[in-house]
Amino acid sequence: MLKTIPEVIAQARQSLNTISAIDAVEKCKHKNGIMIDVREPEEFAQKSGSNTINIPRGLLEMTMLQKYPDENLAIFIHCATGARATFAAEQLKRVGYQNVWVITSMIDDVCCVC
């Protein structure tokens, strides 16, 4: 039986850390983490949170392993709907990152100074 994307997302989130945008900003500051926007560059250019890093979903694992080799780095991931962020967090956990969070609310209007 096929599953819908919302069903897949809900199931995946059961094994992931999730956090609101406001809490993510505070935790990111406290843990000296990074906030990654996994949307495509065109989407990111239209509107994005301050100090977020744009790494499109398709390039995430390779880019992260090269630029951020610390497996304990606090990583906060967001996108437009949370779907890509959830899939991205799953992949980062699979490659060994230990402190990954999915942001479950809109971050575009939150000032982030991670």
The answer to whether residue 9 scores a pLDDT higher than 70 is yes
- With a CB cutoff of 8 Å and minimum separation 6, the contacts of 98 are 71, 72
CATH superfamily of the domain spanning 5-103: Rhodanese-like domain (3.40.250.10)
- Return the beta strands (E) in the chain as ranges: 17-19, 34-37, 53-54, 74-78, 99-103
The pLDDT of residue 33 is: 97
Cα of 80 vs its chain's centroid, Å? 11
Paired residues of 17 in beta bridges: 101
79-90 pLDDT, tens per residue?
988 999 999 999
What residues does each domain of the chain span? 5-103
What pLDDT sits at residue 98? 97
